[in-house]
Chains A and B, each alone.
Chain A
């Protein structure tokens, strides 16, 4: 028997009991709608976290100086100042797969220009820092290797600092003072927005690390080193090389802990997406359960339908329907029910996630794959829960079925 004719028969049988069909479908509709909207929410959250991770730069390895413990009080990472410029040079020279390295110092400072002042984070960095972070300038130019060598008093600033000190005027060529040391602003950074942790990444001033060490903080050690690897594949290898190199340079005995920390961008991304993964599992699990409940609803109604239509099954068998014809008929009916539910559910799910995105200002991302997934699941729910009733119908004895009242 032809599939198309069977399909038409199924649609007709479903139309006979419109209310029942709709109520049965409702379970699948709700399930699919839940799957799609939760996946959209979770995907949206994940992609915004991923975008922020990507804003760290490309193939970045972060090396922090160890923490300092004095009288039971621990300073944060970088407090111990165990990293030196020589470490950074060694990493650049000896670790294979490293493209560029930027030594880093960091301190909160009061900065001023004219009669305006603002408290911001001052970073001392190498001249390749912006390339590593994939952070372009919107105006002006980055300081040069010569500026780094000469510890020149030049700086680039983020948009927040510029707004606070100069309003809407261009900050390029202006003088900015840190601890009474005047710096000339050579560049303005493209705004990056909030970081993963929610801090303002544009509230920053970047000077050559040499200038930071000599002219501002009077420090001889680094807070950290930002390095860039050539390829995401070599990241973990680079991480091991750096660890080995620094342990050797710092003369750390095999049984002692590192006095530094090496983190790859991957690890940071994993940590940041861990919560959204748990969310995805929980929400996805709940909506899958609701799909299964919908499937049980289909099975229930199909069983009722088989009983109600015992006589029809008997007639069909008497005129030559084989077991597989009857099986196919009821299976297609069940699959039609669940697929129709899947279509309506998908439409509602897409609308629901659009609504959530618009009204609650949450990022959502409805992917084609999640729609296909929901579709596939509803198809298999139809097959799975339709099979038992359909087989029951197919195994009826034609004589008993014909006599059924």
Chain B
């Protein structure tokens, strides 16, 4: 099996003012299909830069990046936009939904820019509804983001990431703006998608969230210092059950 992500000796140097910032140094990494990876690190560790490069939002200064076997390190803006559209689904910390636009239309957004698999309007609606059903929000399709809770907004964002059936989902601190219970619910959604074979790479600085994934990578000063599989992986459904039991015991919920 070919790796979904294969980076070889990748460097990223920002030329800002007098000092060059070496954000990522000589990093090599392979991620196979079906993996669920958490990239961790303190701020300034290079994990965001890493994420931007993996997401084809940014190009490495040197080194090679093969996404799904295709070298994308030398592609131009438009070609990268197409790669993002076809192969990658993004989930952001701040949800980044279009306001005053319904959940359904937010999910349809990547389809609008899909030149290859252009669909008719009814087909688009159906596909978007399917994606919303996967994240359990089919009945909220007509709601605008400001009528949805944070967890629901993040689910819409995940549905949007699924819109063009990508091989890879990249999540940048997806639980950063959410409370514990909602965070676990979102991790449950990710685990469900991962069980269906979708590769997920996630940036987080929360250890407990990282333990829902299968593999943890820790970065410091632009380099990977730890790369290990998760031993006692938490299962979201079980953790939610435990949390509810605890809440019942203090009569926080019925």
A residues contacting B by CB (< 8 A) are 1-2, 5, 16, 311-312, 314-325, 398-399, 402
Contact = CB atoms under 8 A, between A and B. Distances in A.
Nearest to B160: A319
18 contacts: A5-B112, A311-B96, A315-B97, A316-B113, A318-B84, A319-B85, A319-B109, A319-B110, A320-B81, A320-B85, A320-B114, A320-B164, A321-B81, A322-B113, A323-B78, A398-B57, A399-B58, A402-B57
A294 B167 CA distance: 48
Nearest to B113: A320
Given A398-B57, A402-B92, A319 B84 contact: yes
B81 A317 contact: yes
A16 B144 CA distance: 14
Interface residues of B, number: 27
A322 B114 CA distance: 10
Given A318-B90, A319-B109, A323-B77, A312 B98 contact: yes
B182 interface: no
A5 B55 CA distance: 27
B78 A399 contact: no
Nearest to A324: B78
Contact of B90 (A16, A312, A319): A319
Contacts of A323: 77-78, 81
B82 A322 contact: yes
Given A398-B57, A399-B52, A402-B92, A316 B78 contact: no
A239 B238 CA distance: 107
Contact of A320 (B86, B97, B98): B86
Nearest to B81: A322
Nearest to B78: A322
B100 interface: yes
Given A16-B100, A315-B96, A315-B98, A325 B77 contact: no
A320 B96 contact: no
B109 A316 contact: yes
> Which are the 8 A-B pairs with shortest beta-carbon distances?
A320-B85, A320-B113, A319-B110, A322-B81, A322-B78, A321-B113, A315-B96, A320-B84
Q: Which of A314, A319, A321 has the most CB of B within 10 A?
A: A319
B50 to A, nearest CB: 13
A1 B121 CA distance: 12
A314 B55 CA distance: 13
Interface string B62-102: 00000000000000011001101110001010001110100
Contacts of B112: 1-2, 5
Contacts of B164: 320
Given A320-B82, A321-B81, A322-B77, A1 B113 contact: yes
Nearest to B109: A319
Interface in B39-57: 52, 55, 57
Contacts of A324: 78
Nearest to A5: B112
Contacts of A399: 52, 57-58
Q: Which of B78, B81, B82, B163 has the most CB of A within 10 A?
A: B81
Nearest to B115: A1
A312 B94 CA distance: 13
A185 B113 CA distance: 86
Nearest to B157: A315
Contacts of B163: 319
B193 to A, nearest CB: 17
A320 B110 contact: yes
Contacts of A316: 109, 113
A77 B17 CA distance: 85
Contacts of B115: 1
Given A311-B96, A315-B98, 4 more contacts: A1-B112, A320-B84, A321-B81, A402-B57
A324 B82 CA distance: 12
B78 to A, nearest CB: 5
Interface in B140-192: 160, 163-164
A111 B160 CA distance: 97
A194 to B, nearest CB: 63
B9 to A, nearest CB: 22
Interface string B95-128: 0111010000000011011110010000000000
Q: Which of B78, B97, B109, B112 has the most CB of A within 10 A?
A: B112
A311 B99 CA distance: 11
Contacts of A1: 112-113, 115
A366 to B, nearest CB: 40
Contacts of B160: 319
Contacts of B58: 399
B98 A319 contact: no
A319 B157 CA distance: 11
Nearest to B106: A315
B94 to A, nearest CB: 9
Contacts of A318: 55, 57, 84, 90, 96
A334 to B, nearest CB: 20
Contacts of A16: 100
Contacts of A322: 77-78, 81-82, 113
Contacts of A402: 57, 92, 96
Q: Which of A2, A5, A317 has the most CB of B within 10 A?
A: A317
A2 B57 CA distance: 24
A320 B83 CA distance: 7
A315 B58 CA distance: 15
B40 to A, nearest CB: 21
Contacts of A320: 81-82, 84-86, 110, 113-114, 164
Nearest to B170: A318
Nearest to B110: A319
Contacts of B109: 315-316, 319
